[in-house]
Amino acid sequence: MLLRAAWRRAAVAVTAAPGPKPAAPTRGLRLRVGDHAPQSAVPADTTAAPEAGPVLRPLYMDVQATTPLDPRVLDAMLPYLINYYGNPHSRTHAYGWESEAAMERARQQVASLIGADPREIIFTSGATESNNIAIKGVARFYRSRKKHLITTQTEHKCVLDSCRSLEAEGFQVTYLPVQKSGIIDLKELEAAIQPDTSLVSVMTVNNEIGVKQPIAEIGQICSSRKVYFHTDAAQAVGKIPLDVNDMKIDLMSISGHKIYGPKGVGAIYIRRRPRVRVEALQSGGGQERGMRSGTVPTPLVVGLGAACEVAQQEMEYDHKRISKLAERLIQNIMKSLPDVVMNGDPEHHYPGCINLSFAYVEGESLLMALKDVALSSGSACTSASLEPSYVLRAIGTDEDLAHSSIRFGIGRFTTEEEVDYTVEKCIQHVKRLREMSPLWEMVQDGIDLKSIKWTQH
């Protein structure tokens, strides 16, 4: 309440301040509330350039990288940032009891979303840590009897790197290929399971192309072969229905900031019956049933719990709305532009993640041209690399098309006007960049580019 009152007073002060009012934001751009740059101790030069106007920010269409904090989540967190600041592990006074009660309520909210028992939820710093605990923790605990793991070539980088780390420790890892659709072949999975396989790890929804894997079928195969099944569900929890018991999932990774919650918090579901054992990655006070030592950050886990509760209430509505917006974006782009390819299976697909390749256009050039829309060409965790996406390479996309891909993310707060603006700008800049491309000119003249033998000079 104090913080909100402070914000209101600040807003009134800004409104009442003398001087010219800021101009209305341009269509397709959002207005930043204010400039909070630190004040310099050096006296200002009165002859300097006039004061800059309001800063315009691009539209946000990159919800696979992160989502904005839902205001309802912030409301739930605020009391634990200001008034209820006790350590949830302090058992001798009311401050600790209050925080512990909030932590356990959040655990219940997370468990309810995925059909789990609250005792099966362990709080972590995010999905990367959860994936590390699941993969390394299971492999190392059962290493005396089982030294083989299975994953896919299109997993998140933290899963692939965890598996490579285990290979350096002497484990054997099978990296399953995916089909052109991005979905694994279940027969190949069955054939890959060995007597000493301890874990299968397959992502629920891919973070680059939005493909949904047949999780229930994979869970059934793993259960019948007595192999533990882990899924990285960071892009799926709160967006599609998931039930860990119906789908026979033994371990699941969850991220707070992918479901309109705070950054820096996540969870891992670890099945109790039949019990899955993991070796802890860090030593400490033995919090979270000894699986993840360290003080649980009460405000963050309260935010994660609130985000899960809101997602459970609004999942059906969000999915319908996002599906309509996604269909609008895809149809309007494809009817206006030829040679646009949608990457991944169009049927088994989460609609809020759309990956399109624009032939004869360099993806990075298109991203720079679309400077008033925040988009990406793939995972935020590998966006610094100029290499084409390993996910697109795994589904057999030509290198030229892989370099021309853009990921459009549609979320809870995306509007119809934002989608239309993005489509309009995308069409405009793709046409302009193609007009500058000699390859596009050759294609228009009927030349088959694949028949040309290129030489290096």
Burial letters for 414-430: b for 16+ Cβ neighbours within 10 Å, e otherwise?
A: beeebbbbbbebbbebb
Q: Is 332 exposed, middle or buried (0-12, 13-18, 19+ CB in 10 A)?
A: middle
Give strand pairing partners of 251.
230, 270
**DSSP secondary structure letters along 227-294:** -EEEEE-TTTTTTS---TTTTT-SEEEEESTTTTS-TT-EEEEE-TTTTPP---SS-SS-TGGGTS-S
Question: Following CA atoms 340, 388, 381, 362 in sequence, which dihedral angle do they give, to the nearest 10 degrees?
Answer: -50
The span from the CA of 430 to the CA of 356, in Å, is 12
Give strand pairing partners of 124.
266
Catalytic residue set? 381
The span from the CA of 6 to the CA of 3, in Å, is 5
The span from the CA of 62 to the CA of 378, in Å, is 10
The span from the CA of 259 to the CA of 307, in Å, is 6
**CB count in 10 Å sphere of residue 10:** 12
Q: In terms of Cα–Cα distance, which of 130, 163, 140, 254 is closest to 204?
A: 254
User: Strands 251-255, 228-232: parallel, antiparallel or unpaired by DSSP?
Assistant: parallel
**CB count in 10 Å sphere of residue 432:** 13
**CB count in 10 Å sphere of residue 272:** 12
SS3 call for 127: helix
Angle 286-151-168 (CA atoms, 0-180°, nearest 5)? 65
Q: In terms of Cα–Cα distance, which of 102, 153, 454 is closest to 296?
A: 102
